[in-house]
Amino acid sequence: MADELEELYQSTYTAVVRYLYRKVWDADRAEDLAQEVFMRLLAHRPEKPRAWIFAVAANLARDEARSAIRRRRHLVLMQSEPGVLPSKARDAEEQVEDDEQSEQVKLALGTLSTRDQEVLLLWDAGMSYPEIAEQSGLAVGAIGTTLARARRRLVEAHERQNYHEADVAHS
Amino acid sequence: MSHILEDELHAYLDQALSRSRCVVIESHLASCGFCSSQRDAIAALRDQTTLLLGTLAPARRIPVSLEELNRRQLAREPRRQRTRRALWAASLVGALGLGYGIRSVGSASRAPDGTPAPLATAVAAAAGQGMSPSNAQSVVPAAMRVSHRSAARPVTVTAPAPDEFIPARDGSAPPSVESSTSALPTDADPGLQGYWRTVPWDKAEDVAGKSPARIEGVPVEEVQVQPSREGGSPMMVVAQRLSSGQVIQTIEGPAADVSQLLSRRGDGGLDSAGRPAEAMQRGDRMLVVTGELPPDSLRAMIRRVNAAQRVK
């Protein structure tokens, strides 16, 4: 059981952090929440741990959203702190480009409906169709349709963002 | 065979279909150029989505080890257990309190034969003797609530009349009641157990074993005492006359006996305006004030305490 948990932890932790990050948009908070998820896992030892992990992560992220305004203020303070510096391995210009790209994708993702976002993020976290169906409340047969729509809309929204950026730069 | 639907191609690329369905799709793709190009487009879309979402990832860090998380979890466990134990104890106390409260009200409305309800706890006496608003449990007994509906006669008597007296607890016939202060006993006569005795104020404490509850600053007109059979606190009725001529009574004693007395009187402790008497109960002891009092009186205080209790 301990080995199984260890294996699950190794294979899932990064995906959970990424999933939470896309919900809370704060790397530190995403790490904290992911650790909380796994501490709860150790306490509860559920039968279907993988699905359980993402269900708890979604709930924690939802709780986080309730204090979004407060957190946003906190984030502004954090970002303005001099201690948060770009990685030494990358120069500042690359970092700026990456940040812009992230921001565009984030905006594109924001144009999707909550359900489409949820299904897309769960899929990207490596969950199977039945697991996504269980967590999202959709039928398994509807996951393919939802994913197809979500992928298309994300890419289209991102292209629109790119065009808009290009227009602004050109003008 | 018709073309494969888009969502099924997504599911196919996501490896979410059964093996048999995959075989069917693959054989179709091998012979259908349209579906084959559709599959390629969806695969590109899928890859692009993955790429885009990949930009929305925090910088990779070395994760905390599972052992460390387990250690943190174990450190947190005793705190959780303590909280659980505290909640359990609180719910037990709450349940006991609720049960006791129900029993107290039930016993207050029972005892039609004068049998006293069992004393569950030692009871502090009355106002001015430990029954403070902060620690008093306030209820209006069921018998009083019933009598409020059935009677509207205002309180004008100074003390219970002979036909209103509670029968002897030992079942024997009541002796004649002393209503004159001239014939007051100066000490507690065991032969009068269970029956009312009228005593002067300055002897009341000796007879009752404690100072009777009363409204401070208002002259006492009459004190009637019913000694307890088993050496417990007696029931006392203190009549006081206000400057307006109105008589008020402070009745204190076992809850069952007090409520029975009020119900036997028929007025249920209504004042001249038809308002019900105010009652406070702590354990099996009850304090009731009947008659009209000014707003700054004990009765008004009791009403406020009762209202606060109800809000809680």
Same domain, B27 and B164: no
Say if residue B22 is in the same domain as residue B169. Answer: no
Domain boundaries, chain A: 1-84, 89-171
B196-224 per-position pLDDT tens digit: 778 778 777 777 777 788 877 778 888 88
Architecture per CATH, domain A1-84, reads as Orthogonal Bundle (1.10)
Statement to judge: residues B259 and B167 lie in one domain: yes
In-domain check, residue B79: no
Residue B284 has pLDDT above 60, yes or no: yes
Question: The pTM is what?
Answer: 0.47
User: Taking CB atoms and an 8 Å limit, are B72 and A145 in contact across chains?
Assistant: no
Nearest-angstrom CA–CA distance, A127 and B82: 37
Q: Quick check: is B222 in a domain?
A: yes
B16 with A144: Cβ contact below 8 A: yes
Q: Phi, psi (5° rounding) for residue A93?
A: -65, -45
What type of residue is B19? R
> Order of strands across the sheet with B247-254?
B197-199, B220-226, B235-241, B247-254, B285-290, B278-282
Tokens 């260890």 appear where? Answer: A6
How far is the CA of B41 from the CAs of A148, A159, B44, in angstroms?
Answer: 12, 16, 5
* Shortest CA gap A64–chain B (Å): 17
User: Would residue B209 be called left, alpha or beta, if left means φ above 0 and alpha means ψ between -120 and 50 degrees?
Assistant: left
DSSP state of B191: G
Assign domain A89-171 to a CATH class.
mainly alpha
Does a structural domain hold residue B131? yes
Shared domain check, B216 and B125: yes
Does residue B156 surpass a pLDDT of 70? no
User: Side chain identity at B160, as an amino acid letter?
Assistant: P
pLDDT tens column, A96-120:
877 888 888 999 999 999 999 999 9
As a three-state string, the secondary structure of A56-123 is HHHHHHHHHHHCHHHHHHHHHHHHCCCCCCCCCCCCHHHHHHHHHHHHHHHHHHHCCCHHHHHHHHHH
Instruction: Name the domain boundary from B15, B32, B54.
Output: B54
Based on the domain organization, do B119 and B239 belong to the same domain?
yes
Determine contact, residues B290/B252, Cβ cutoff 8 Å: no
- Cα gap A69→A56, rounded to integer Å: 22
Share of chain A above pLDDT 70, in %: 84
Residue A123 in this model has a pLDDT that exceeds 60: yes
* Residue B232 covered by a domain: yes
Contacts of A9 in chain B (CB under 8 A): 63, 66
- Whether the CB-CB separation of B225 and B208 falls below 8 Å is answered with yes
Cβ contacts of A38 on chain B, cutoff 8 Å: 66, 69
**Neighbouring-strand partners of residue B290:** B249
The pLDDT assigned to B160 comes to: 38
Amino acid making up residue B62? I
Output the six-digit token pair for B302.
């009791």
How far apart CA A147 and CA A3 sit, in angstroms, is 33
Q: Considering the domain boundaries, does residue B288 fall inside one?
A: yes
Whether B61 maps to a domain, the answer reads: no
Tell me the C-alpha distance between A101 and A107, whole Å.
10
Task: Compare CB distances from B58 to A17, A143, A145 and report the shortest one's residue.
Answer: A17
Q: What share of chain B is helix, strand, coil (3-state, %, to 5)?
A: 45, 10, 45
B165 with B19, same domain?
Answer: no
Gap between the Cα atoms of A137 and A144, Å rounded:
14
C-beta separation of B107 from A76 below 8 A:
no
Domain range holding B240? 109-311
Specify whether B149 is located in the same domain as B226: yes
ipTM of the complex: 0.77
Please write the tens of the pLDDT for every residue from B63-74: 888 888 888 888
Regarding whether B28 and B115 lie in a shared domain, the answer is no
B117 and B37 fall within a common domain: no
Q: Which two tokens stand for residue A81?
A: 């702190």
Is the minimum CB–CB distance between B62 and chain A shorter than 8 Å? no
* Residues B165-185: tens digit of each pLDDT: 333 333 333 333 333 333 333
Domains in chain B, number: 2
